[in-house]
Amino acid sequence: MLIKRAKEEIIEKIKKEIIEKIKKLEVKDNKAVKVLEEMKIAGVEVLRNDKWQIEDELVLKEGKIYILKNNSLRLEII
């Protein structure tokens, strides 16, 4: 039971770290920034038939977290 809880805590910590990295990189990505700004200006949470959304400061496309074209981040996630 302790091992299972420790594993879950480690996994949760890794998930939080990766999500923070995604958020930081999105700020640098022109496409993501443009989509976020358009959504904020329009005051909407969803654009284009649910294709793009903002949830907890993350850009989602078709319900999945938008991952930048950043090979080191993509390898880390895999």
DSSP 2-58: HHHHHHHHHHHHHHHHHHHHHHHHHHH-HHHHHHHHHHHHHT-SEETTTTEEEETTE
- pLDDT value for 30: 67
Render pLDDT for 1-59 as a digit per residue (tens, 0 to 9): 788 888 899 889 988 999 888 887 766 666 666 777 777 777 766 555 567 777 777 87
Using alpha carbons only, what angle is made at residue 56 by residues 14 and 64, rounded to the nearest 5 degrees?
70
